[in-house]
Amino acid sequence: MKLITKLPDLRRELSRNRKGKRVGFVPTMGALHAGHLSLARRAAKDNDLVVLSIFVNPLQFGPQEDFSVYPRDLKKDMRLVKGCVQIVFAPQARDFYPFDFCTFVEVRGLSGEFCGRSRPGHFTGVATVVAKLFNAIQPDTAYFGQKDAQQAVVIQKMVKDLDMPVRVQVMPTVREKDGLAMSSRNAYLSLQERRDALVLYQSLKSAQRMVFSGLRETQKILGALEDFIAHTSGARIDYMSIVDKKTLQPLKVIEKEGLLLLAVFIGKTRLIDNAVLKIARSR
């Protein structure tokens, strides 16, 4: 496994080694956990050569967000992915975004709501960094987690609209034993907040039970979830919506399935989660 920090070095390494090989790519911001490892292992299974990036992208953080304190431990991250990744690309921001950098990628329509409304400019930062990485690595397949559902939809749309020759593979959310979605930001939680954070997963399960029982009107489902979350004193809803999983347009009624998007502050830490709500098949 090689650590590469400069774009020209990355291109040279790939040029020497990719001939006749399928290349898989896993973009991360480091602070790796089992969710990232599931992506890396799937990439290793599907491809001959795997590149994993570790880059805390300043463009996707707002002025009051946690860029300066976001967890960084490159040595630990590299130990975790040893054996399933051939190249770790960990550039410096000053090299990746030179002082005169002024080109950005914006996916309109999908970026302005939900996390985009709470974090203005976030998805422009995400799309820009992913476009640059795709251009540099030119992977056959790139792997993303379903936990960041809106991000996955934004990237899929960017790839489609810009005719990028890369397949976007979205993998299932990896969870702790008690159901909490794995996230680098879980490390910010106190013991009590960690217990409070279970309200996100419990809300998803509650919503699915409501749909299985025959409830289809999304406002009634969301109203019940608001009441449920309100009983956790350390939780504050940022947004909650049931949408079409491809267009992210809000649904009034769940006819076949709907994507429940959820963002909740647990103390000062903002956590996101989601689930596809499916109607039970008739027997």
How much is the mean pLDDT over the chain? 96
Could you report the per-residue pLDDT of 11-28, keeping only the tens digit for each? 999 999 999 999 999 999
- Pick from 171, 195, 227: which residue ends a domain? 171
DSSP state of 165: S
Is the pLDDT confidence value at 282 over 60? no
Q: Is residue 245 part of a domain?
A: yes
Task: Please check whether residues 165 and 238 belong to one and the same domain.
Answer: no
Closest CA to 244 of 258, 225, 224: 258
Q: Is residue 283 part of a domain?
A: no
Q: Is residue 251 part of a domain?
A: yes
* pLDDT reported for residue 161: 98
Task: Please check whether residues 31 and 119 belong to one and the same domain.
Answer: yes
Could you report the per-residue pLDDT of 72-119, keeping only the tens digit for each? 999 999 999 999 999 999 999 999 999 999 999 999 999 999 999 999
Centroid of chain to Cα 200: 16
* Number of independent structural domains in the chain: 2
Is the pLDDT confidence value at 256 over 60? yes
Task: Please check whether residues 218 and 252 belong to one and the same domain.
Answer: yes
Q: Which two tokens stand for residue 102?
A: 């002024």
Task: Please check whether residues 89 and 190 belong to one and the same domain.
Answer: no
User: Measured between alpha carbons, how far is 39 from 185 in angstroms, rounded to an integer?
Assistant: 18
Domain holding 272: CATH number?
3.30.1300.10
Centroid of chain to Cα 277: 19
Placement of tokens 């002082």 in the chain: 99
Domain housing 213: 184-277
- The SS3 assignment for 212 reads helix
Task: Please check whether residues 24 and 149 belong to one and the same domain.
Answer: yes
Length of the chain as a residue count: 283
Is the pLDDT confidence value at 203 over 70? yes
Is the pLDDT confidence value at 283 over 70? no
Question: Which of these is catalytic: 33, 36, 122, 231?
Answer: 36
Q: Are 45 and 83 in contact (CB under 8 A)?
A: no
* pLDDT reported for residue 267: 97
Closest CA to 216 of 270, 266, 253: 253
Could you report the per-residue pLDDT of 227-254, keeping only the tens digit for each? 999 999 999 999 999 999 999 999 999 9
Task: Please check whether residues 20 and 121 belong to one and the same domain.
Answer: yes
pLDDT (mean) for 183-187:
95
Q: Is 231 a catalytic residue?
A: no
Could you report the per-residue pLDDT of 33-70, keeping only the tens digit for each? 999 999 999 999 999 999 999 999 999 999 889 999 99
- Pick from 121, 140, 171: which residue ends a domain? 171
Task: Please check whether residues 68 and 149 belong to one and the same domain.
Answer: yes
Amino acid at 71: P
User: pLDDT band for position 280 (50/70/90)?
Assistant: confident
* pLDDT reported for residue 56: 97
Edge-to-edge strands of the sheet including 2-4?
A: 2-4, 87-89, 49-54, 23-28, 141-145, 167-171
Q: Is residue 177 part of a domain?
A: no
Report residue 90: phi and psi, to 5°: -130, 80
Could you report the per-residue pLDDT of 125-174, keeping only the tens digit for each? 999 999 999 999 999 999 999 999 999 999 999 999 999 999 999 999 99
* pLDDT reported for residue 281: 66
Domain holding 154: CATH number?
3.40.50.620
Task: Please check whether residues 64 and 108 belong to one and the same domain.
Answer: yes
DSSP state of 185: G
Centroid of chain to Cα 104: 20
Q: Is residue 178 part of a domain?
A: no
Task: Please check whether residues 120 and 6 belong to one and the same domain.
Answer: yes
* pLDDT reported for residue 263: 98
Q: Which two tokens stand for residue 35?
A: 């969710």
